[in-house]
Amino acid sequence: MSKIKTLNRQFISNLETHKVITDAKRNLILSILKSTTTKREARNYLTKYQSQFSFPDLEFQKFNNFSDEITTSLSQRDNQRDLFVKRFLNNQNPFLNIYDEEETKLNKIPLRLAIFKIKFQSITMKQWRGIAETFKRLITLGVSPIILLDYDHLPNESFKKNELYMINQANKMLSILGKPEEPGDLRATVLRNVFNTKQSESESESNVTIDTLESILIPLYQGIIPIVQPISYNSLTAKQEFLKCDTLLSSLCSALIANRTTNLLSVEKIVMIDPLGGIPSIERNQTSHVFINLSQEYSDILSELYIGHIDPKIRNLHVNNLNSMNEILTFIRKKSGNDETTGIITTPEIMSTNDDQLNPIIYNVLTDRSIISSSLPSTSKRTPPLSTTIIKKGANVQIFDKTTFPKELTFERLFAEKLVDKDRLVNLLNDSFGKQLKVEEYFKRINNHLATFILVGDYDGAAVITYEEDRGGNKIAYLDKFAIAKKNQGLPVKRNLLKMSQAETSMRLRVNPSQGVRQGQSKQAQAGDSPVGKKRLAYYHELDEWQQDNHYIKSGYVKGTSSYRESLKSLGYLHNETVNIYSHLLPSSISFWLILYYINFQLKIYDNYLGVWEKLNFLQFGAACTFCMFMSSVFHCLKSHSHKVSRFGNQLDYFGIVILITCSLVSIVLFSYYDKPLQKWIFVGLSIFFGTVCTIFTLHPEFSQNYYRPFRSTMFILFGLSGVLPIANAVYTFGYQTTKERSGLIWLILEGTFYILGAVLYAMRFPERTAYIDSEEHLFSPGTFDIFGHSHQIFHFLVVVAAFCHWKALVECYHYLHQSIL
pLDDT tens across 323-376, in order? 999 999 999 888 877 778 999 999 999 999 888 778 999 988 888 888 876 666
636 is in an annotated binding site: yes
State the pLDDT at residue 38. 64
The secondary structure of 596-652 as a DSSP string is HHIIIIIS---TT---HHHHHHHHHHHHHHHHHHHHHHHHHHHTTS-HHHHHHHHHH
Per-residue confidence at 483, pLDDT binned at 50, 70, 90?
confident
Per-residue confidence at 788, pLDDT binned at 50, 70, 90?
very high
pLDDT of 532 above 50: no
State the pLDDT at residue 21. 55
Pick the CATH number of 111-392 from 3.40.50.300, 3.40.50.2000, 3.30.1180.10, 3.40.1160.10: 3.40.1160.10
What is the rounded distance in angstroms from the CA atom of residue 21 to the CA atom of residue 159? Answer: 49
Q: What is the pLDDT of residues 260-312, one digit of tens each?
A: 655 678 899 999 999 999 999 877 766 888 889 888 888 888 888 877 567 88
What is the rounded distance in angstroms from the CA atom of residue 150 to the CA atom of residue 560? Answer: 45
pLDDT of 698 above 70: yes
Lowest mean pLDDT segment, chosen from 563-577, 641-655, 698-712: 698-712
Q: What is the mean pLDDT of residues 735-743?
A: 91
Q: pTM higher than 0.85, yes or no?
A: no
pLDDT of 68 above 90: no
pLDDT of 469 above 70: yes
Q: What is the mean pLDDT of residues 665-677?
A: 93
Q: Which of these, 219, 13, 203, lies nearest to 111 by C-alpha position?
A: 219
* Portions of the chain given CATH number 3.40.630.30: 397-509
What is the rounded distance in angstroms from the CA atom of residue 819 to the CA atom of residue 354? Answer: 91
pLDDT of 811 above 90: yes
State the pLDDT at residue 72. 43
The residue among 32 and 153 whose pLDDT is bigger is: 153
State the pLDDT at residue 629. 96
State the pLDDT at residue 699. 80
| Residue 767 preceded by cis peptide, ω within 30 | yes
State the pLDDT at residue 622. 93
Please state which CATH number belongs to domain 572-604+611-821: 1.20.1070
State the pLDDT at residue 308. 57
State the pLDDT at residue 105. 43
pLDDT of 514 above 70: no
Average pLDDT, the chain: 79
Lowest mean pLDDT segment, chosen from 457-471, 522-536, 790-804, 808-822: 522-536
* Portions of the chain given CATH number 1.20.1070: 572-604+611-821
Per-residue confidence at 651, pLDDT binned at 50, 70, 90?
confident
Q: What is the pLDDT of residues 71-92, one digit of tens each?
A: 344 445 555 556 655 665 565 6
State the pLDDT at residue 506. 47
Q: What is the mean pLDDT of residues 518-540?
A: 47
What is the rounded distance in angstroms from the CA atom of residue 292 to the CA atom of residue 493? Answer: 10
What is the rounded distance in angstroms from the CA atom of residue 349 to the CA atom of residue 358? Answer: 12
State the pLDDT at residue 401. 84
What is the rounded distance in angstroms from the CA atom of residue 404 to the CA atom of residue 390? Answer: 31
796 is in an annotated binding site: yes
- The secondary structure of residue 566, as a DSSP letter, is H
Q: What is the mean pLDDT of residues 743-765?
A: 91
* Portions of the chain given CATH number 3.40.1160.10: 111-392
State the pLDDT at residue 13. 55
> 617: which strand partners?
none
449 is in an annotated binding site: no
Evaluate whether the domain defined by 397-509 bears CATH number 3.40.630.30: yes
